[in-house]
Amino acid sequence: MISYGKQSIDQTDIDAVVEVLKSDWLTQGPAVRTFENDLQNYFGAKHTCVVSNGTAALHLAGLALGWQPGDIVLTTPLTFLATANSIVYSGATPNFVDIDVDTYTIDSNLVEEKVNDYREKGEKVKAVIGVDFAGHPCDWKALREIADKYELQLVNDNCHALGATYLNDKQYAVKYADLVIQSYHPVKHLTTGEGGAVLTNNSKLDEKVRRLRTHGMTKDNSKFSIQNPSLNEPWYYEMHEVGFNYRITDFQCALGSSQLKKLDRFVEKRRKIAKHYDNSFAIIENLKTPKVQSDIEHAYHLYPLQIDFEILSITKVEFFERMKGIGINLQVHYIPIHLQPFYQKNYGFQQGDFPTSENFYNNELSLPIYPRLTNDEQKLVVENIKQLINE
């Protein structure tokens, strides 16, 4: 069976994990800090805090930024549930902004319109979460200008775009966003099994994220509220707020550091597969391949192909099931969040609110794309899609 995504693990990864398993530290040990340093160097961040998964990273980001009931946070409806759920976790109110028709990322012009709509009602947007959908960066320059103009916090859900470049800069993410969120799930560009990180250039935000990662505890004497009754109590710690156990293990981090060394190679292989798909589908009128802006290098976590099912003799469900029957598992990214019952019931969203995202969803299927996808497997995907299109 050909999956839409899959991890790429080799012997060097296995050796790195086994080395930690044989050591004294399985968690809260040196491999965690090593992975954080490796990520900082690659992505150009001053601070990196690795956590148990990308959802935990999003949750901690909202808490570190102080989101609370009454705050309004904007994001795209075309993302995984965790992006919007992280807003709800904090008690803030989520709202959505439709996507750009070409990049599938949040439309910066519509962001400013919505911010001003709230201002006219005497309300203020607190923050914006942009999602680098499928591996194509948002228009971060425009979003940063909007954030500065209206005093907004800016978060980059960067989970899809590890290894992408924006304005010819691979380290763009922390230069525009206050906090950057990453995920290391097996279908992402690099994996720790489950895992994630919060990257930032802001030391105060990093300090809060780290504290919340481990139950809200601190062992820093300078942060104590109660004076340590004896300076000879090295075990002493304090808890100043409710935190969580969002820690990640050392053996996961060892895998992450090993995987990070191969990230450029992984992304390059994804780009080659995407180019093959682009060339294969270029002249088929009722197919739309992903567009890439001239100042962008796409990371291709996903290859979202849009198919105009209205003019075909086959429905999206039939297409999906036929491909599965052949042994090719496609996927759909994503059901727009405003169509989920929870968000409709609790926030009043309804079908038709974000038509560009809905149209994308109606037509989108994600094709297999991962470094271990062979040429023969790519050929099989292309041939069967063409066959179904031409029936």
> Cα 238 vs. chain centroid, distance in angstroms?
33
Convert the pLDDT of each residue in 352-385 to its tens digit.
999 999 999 999 999 999 999 999 999 999 999 9
Query: Both 250 and 342 in a single domain?
Result: no
pLDDT at 63 > cutoff 90 = yes
Q: Please give the model's pTM, rounded to 2 decimal places.
A: 0.97
Question: Which domain range does residue 306 map to?
Answer: 263-389
Last residue of a domain, one of 260, 288, 323: 260
Q: Are 73 and 203 in contact (CB under 8 A)?
A: no
Convert the pLDDT of each residue in 298-356 to its tens digit.
999 999 999 999 999 999 999 999 999 999 999 999 999 999 999 999 999 999 999 99
At 145, phi and psi to the nearest 5?
-65, -40
Query: Both 269 and 169 in a single domain?
Result: no
Both tokens assigned to 146: 């909007």
What pLDDT is recorded for position 233? 78
Convert the pLDDT of each residue in 73-122 to its tens digit.
999 999 999 999 999 999 999 999 999 999 999 999 999 999 999 999 99
Distances (CA, A) of 331 to 268, 335, 348, 386: 22, 11, 28, 17
What pLDDT is recorded for position 220? 87
Last residue of a domain, one of 245, 260, 275: 260
Query: Both 108 and 89 in a single domain?
Result: yes
Please report the DSSP string for 42-67 in residue order.
Answer: HHT-SEEEEES-HHHHHHHHHHHTT-
Contacts of 283 (CB under 8 A, 6+ apart): none
**Percent of the chain surpassing pLDDT 70:** 98
Alpha helices in 53-158 (DSSP H): 54-64, 81-90, 108-120, 140-150
What pLDDT is recorded for position 208? 98
What pLDDT is recorded for position 221? 82
Q: Are 85 and 346 in contact (CB under 8 A)?
A: no
Query: Both 60 and 184 in a single domain?
Result: yes
What pLDDT is recorded for position 137? 99
What pLDDT is recorded for position 228? 61
Convert the pLDDT of each residue in 207-243 to its tens digit.
999 999 999 999 888 888 887 655 567 888 999 999 9
Query: Both 224 and 299 in a single domain?
Result: no
Kindly report the CATH number assigned to the domain that includes residue 274: 3.90.1150.10
What pLDDT is recorded for position 236? 87
What pLDDT is recorded for position 230? 56
Q: What is the mean pLDDT of the chain?
A: 97
What pLDDT is recorded for position 226? 81
What pLDDT is recorded for position 229? 57
Query: Both 69 and 175 in a single domain?
Result: yes
Last residue of a domain, one of 213, 233, 260: 260
What pLDDT is recorded for position 388? 97
Average pLDDT over residues 156-171: 99
Query: Both 269 and 205 in a single domain?
Result: no
Total domain count, the chain: 2
Torsion of CA 280, 285, 288, 291, to 10 degrees: 80
Dmax (CA) of the chain: 80
Q: How many CA atoms lie within 13 A of 121 on its CB side?
A: 9
Cα-Cα end-to-end distance for the chain: 23
Distance, CA of 374 to CA of 351 (rounded, Å):
40
